[in-house]
Chain A
């Protein structure tokens, strides 16, 4: 990795540093991207507003969420101050540490409903798989940016090994949803590094061919049930299909303009399950209607666009790959959640980013945005025209 830095050094222009020092703004000084921050705050506020309704006007729950957000923004701010070069240097350590924690889950993990996903450290519980959501793209980006891009087969292979290890560990917990998302965050880096379309197409073909063996041997009963219920929720209206039927009813009955804030009957009369966590978009859609959904998705789109802008303007491959992966992964969370609640995708436990009630995932997401901010505001060695 040190050779990379030397090559960067070769490209440094003698007069650049002076120019940059003069142009440093307030936002750059505190390492925050004002546009991204503004969008995140709007989304956060809107999310808490809907959460207030989804939790039956429980201020206690909103306060809890506000506390998490406080921590998350603090985490974001702290991470934004870290130099990317430091992160790149410690990427492998971070990755190995995450894997170790995942292994620890197998032996010391706690959990519920037949799944062992948590580590408990002196009363504080957290999911190591959350760490992996960031450690994975950092590690792959760091690894690949040290090679010439597009990556050669050898590097693709090792990257895939890096992706596979934590993925398998998380599948075993079992937590299929998270493992897929973690794997995707790594594969996205590969994709952005310029992975040949030939590989991509053959991988897609291979994936298509492996659907049947996956179905028959890998998926567990409850996971199969979820997929089956997705395609025909009416087959079990009282049981597994209940969630989907009720969330579709909530969304559909919202109509164009919605039933009004605090007026959603599906959520307030408890027909909608998980209304303040994974299914909160159904509350949103029921109370604020299609217009509300349009605004929400528009907001997500703006965040994603800002993320991509940061990625495109980043000064080297590591930063580009990392920013691209964080941004696209964020969007995939949105897509999976909004899709699953409306019955397009199977119900995997993915919360709606920055809106659903939830602690650790919130912190992880905001730390991801902290990385984006760091990339966005880093003092540049090269001025891009």
Chain B
């Protein structure tokens, strides 16, 4: 037996082998079955998923940002432009050591900690591989050269040009044109999905002024293109393209030369100048001083600059023209004269005796006139020319707050003018209901008396005063003030807000004559600015008591004293016959309207009517309105 085992049984070996081959053949078939079911699952069952994934790999939807609309003044001079700016970007995938590269770059050019922080933040937020991340904006020529020279030893860095907003006259139009700035997280999170798609990859948005108000029009429509890319984000070809629609260009009523005239006339003072085209409501000039450099904001203002602006006592960021509310003081008197006449509280010949104060019959309190000795016998004409308080105390008292409130609305007091700027304030034009609701106490007759001279609770923005003046000049036709004259060369029609058709022309003539004599009569409060006047104008001075100093704030005493002085006001229009321009001036703590505010108005009138601008530069016309670019 032992021996026999050494003999090979070939037949048995072959049989065993054949059995095993059959077994493995079945195994092979089932393994192939596994493979095929796997490929069937991937290619047939889940085809859609993988086809989409494959397209997502290779197709990149790029947003193409439209060119932002330009802003021109009335002469076609650029107020907001797009200029190329160079930014340094890094593609981390191509950089062996990012922080080391940044360190090296820091030795070449100025890179702040803010820049680095922002870089790492956008690096962490959703980003495709091989997408470049910006590190520094606004490179100078010298910096670009420095980077170019060292590029060979810094792989993965590149300098990209992008269009950045630029303001040729940043100080003059800080509050009107405004500025664009970086989109911050708060704004981004408030965006709808559509807006996020629109602003994706775009760093800036209109923040204040026209840039904000007309953001949609200036922005245009974002275009898209589908491009095929390879794994290294290299664009190979464009598959589909929807071109962007550029933003609309704005032509303004604002005149750079007139604005500069206001700026120079207000040099060193805080306040506001607003000039309105009487016929159209177009805003010819609107300045709030002090002002600031809007170009600082475009690519991100530094903390130092920003703190300097926000810490300033003079509040340069505050737009006095539409957000500052001041008691209208005596500038209200021409309008009230008309209210008195139209409501038949007074007649043109109605007279009262002004002893220097006004007193209610059963009240001991004296309401003093600014002139201690009084103006003697006063009618409505003299009351306006010499600014008699007593006359208007009496008239207001007899007219009553309800009538005053109703007429005030017709002049646009107490409500927004609806100017095409954001964040306008409505001022305050008091009424019984307002006082009850806000102060919880009823209206007293004494309240009406204070309102009569534009004090008390009454408060108006300089723009509201200008609108009131234009309404006076227009004999009751109130137009909406409008900065934009035309959008993409399409004129924007003037809009009448309200009219006073029932007021008799005779009454308007009386008021206009009185305002004329404020300037031109020998006893007018504004006579000082009539010297060498080659045209006729109408106006009214005002001096508003300052009540707005907050308690407990520590100002140094000299500054405090200066800020306790009265505000100087002036309203006016010119030419006297056929008025073209209406104006309001507020000089904070300027003490007297006649000396501080009226001369500014004269300069504005001279500039607009005679072409005597306080600007050395002639207009640099880039694109005239009505001319296709």
Contact = CB atoms under 8 A, between A and B. Distances in A.
Interface of A: 3-4, 7, 11, 148-150, 191-194, 238, 246, 248-256, 265-266, 269-271, 285, 289-290, 293-294, 297, 301, 304-305, 308, 311-312, 316-317, 320-321, 324, 328, 331, 335, 338-339, 342, 344
B50 A249 contact: yes
B229 A335 contact: no
B47 interface: yes
A308 B25 contact: yes
A290 B43 contact: yes
B13 A251 contact: no
Contacts of A265: 54, 57-58, 228
B46 interface: yes
Contacts of A3: 6
A204 B54 CA distance: 40
B27 to A, nearest CB: 9
Contacts of A297: 32, 35-36
25 contacts: A7-B7, A7-B8, A149-B13, A192-B21, A194-B20, A238-B129, A248-B50, A249-B50, A251-B42, A251-B50, A252-B46, A253-B53, A256-B43, A265-B57, A265-B58, A269-B230, A269-B236, A271-B54, A271-B231, A290-B43, A293-B36, A293-B39, A293-B43, A317-B13, A342-B38
A4 to B, nearest CB: 7
B112 to A, nearest CB: 30
Contacts of B8: 4, 7, 148-149, 317
Contact of A249 (B13, B16, B54): B54
B44 A11 contact: no
Contact of B28 (A7, A11, A149, A331): A331
Contact of B53 (A148, A249, A285): A249
A44 to B, nearest CB: 21
Contacts of A149: 8, 12-13, 16
Contact of B21 (A11, A253, A308): A308
Contacts of A194: 13, 16-17, 20
Contact of A266 (B25, B44, B57, B228): B57
A271 B58 contact: yes
Q: Is the interface of A mostly helix, strand, loop or mixed?
A: helix
Contacts of A248: 42, 50
Given A249-B53, A270-B230, A324-B24, A342 B39 contact: yes
A252 B35 contact: no
A270 B234 CA distance: 11
A247 B283 CA distance: 65
A297 B43 CA distance: 15
A253 B50 contact: yes
Interface in B51-77: 51, 53-55, 57-58
Interface string B1-23: 00001111110111011101100
B36 A294 contact: yes
A331 B35 CA distance: 12
Contacts of A252: 42-43, 46-47, 49-51, 53-54
B360 interface: no
Interface of B: 5-10, 12-14, 16-18, 20-21, 24-25, 28-29, 31-32, 34-36, 38-40, 42-44, 46-47, 49-51, 53-55, 57-58, 129, 228-232, 236
Nearest to A246: B57
Given A4-B8, A148-B6, A249-B57, A312 B17 contact: yes
A157 to B, nearest CB: 18
Given A269-B229, A271-B57, A308-B25, A11 B16 contact: no
Nearest to A147: B8
A287 B567 CA distance: 82
Contacts of A294: 36
A316 B10 contact: yes
A255 B47 contact: yes
A361 B228 CA distance: 36
B573 to A, nearest CB: 70
Q: Which of B17, B44, B51, B55 has the most chain A CB atoms inside 10 A of its CB?
A: B17
A312 B17 CA distance: 8
Nearest to A254: B43
Contacts of B55: 253
A93 B44 CA distance: 51
B240 to A, nearest CB: 15
A205 to B, nearest CB: 19
Contact of B47 (A150, A250, A253, A342): A253
Nearest to B6: A148
Contacts of A320: 13-14, 17
Contacts of A316: 10
Nearest 6 pairs of A and B residues by beta carbon: A252-B50, A253-B54, A194-B16, A269-B230, A270-B231, A252-B42
B236 to A, nearest CB: 7
A193 B16 CA distance: 8
Given A251-B39, A285-B39, 19 more contacts: A148-B5, A148-B6, A191-B20, A193-B16, A238-B129, A248-B42, A251-B42, A251-B50, A252-B49, A252-B53, A252-B54, A253-B55, A265-B57, A266-B58, A269-B229, A321-B17, A324-B20, A335-B32, A342-B39
A87 B96 CA distance: 54
Contacts of B39: 251, 285, 290, 293, 338, 342
Nearest to A270: B231
A285 B32 contact: no
A100 to B, nearest CB: 31
A336 to B, nearest CB: 10
Contacts of A311: 17, 21
Given A297-B36, A335-B31, A305 B25 contact: yes
A164 B120 CA distance: 53
